[in-house]
Amino acid sequence: MLEKYTIGTLSRESGVNLETIRYYEKISLLNKPERSGNGYRHYNESAIKRLRFIRRGRELGFGIAEIKTLLELADHPEHPCKEADQLAQTHLTEVETKIKDLLAMQEVLTKIVACQSHSAEHCRLIETLNQRSCCN
């Protein structure tokens, strides 16, 4: 009753790719599971929760190392939250930096796309990359 999921089932339940689960085990993000006589991995409910935790962390853009720390903290509810707060703050700043960079790219690309050109000689994208003046 306790170890009722095979890796395929766990993959479906958690939304994490099967090969990714084995990868997480290899890098010690997940504990090694029990094995049945045939060598198959078997998991329980807590593995699902853990994997979902990891998946949500990845969806928020945290790296594996950060998630490892967060799993540690989640396992010790008495610990201060300071470290997690710090991770969130730092990560938020990184995300905002990336947004800023992408918005700058978007602005240039939008201008380029807005103007149809005919030949490579007067192609806006290529002109931009050559840093010659653009069609405005």
Helix (H) or strand (E) holding 91: helix 82-114
Report if residue 90 touches DNA, rule: CB under 7 A. Answer: no
Binder among 52, 58, 91, 124 for DNA (CB under 7 A): 58
**133 belongs to the binding site for DNA (CB under 7 A):** no
114 interacts with, out of a second copy, DNA, none, CB within 5 to 8 A per kind? none
As given in the structure block, the two tokens for residue 89 are: 């703050």
**Alpha carbon 32 to chain centroid distance?**
22
Q: How many CA atoms lie less than 13 Å away from 117 in the CB half-sphere?
A: 16
CA 91 to CA 94: how far, in whole Å?
Answer: 5
Residue 2 binding target from a second copy, DNA, none, CB below 5 to 8 Å by type: none
Instruction: Write the single-letter amino acid at 73.
Output: L
Q: Which is nearer to DNA, 65 or 104 (CB)?
A: 65
Q: Which does 9 bind (CB under 5 to 8 A by kind): a second copy, DNA, none?
A: DNA
Q: How many residues bind DNA (CB under 7 A)?
A: 21
Residue 35 beta carbon to a second copy: minimum distance, rounded to whole angstroms: 28
- Which residues, in sequence order, are bridge partners of residue 5? 43
Footprint of a second copy on this chain (CB under 8 A)?
49, 52-53, 56-57, 59-61, 70, 73-74, 76-81, 84-85, 87-89, 91-92, 95-96, 98-99, 102-103, 105-106, 108-110, 112-113, 116-126, 128-131
Q: Is 52 exposed, middle or buried (0-12, 13-18, 19+ CB in 10 A)?
A: middle
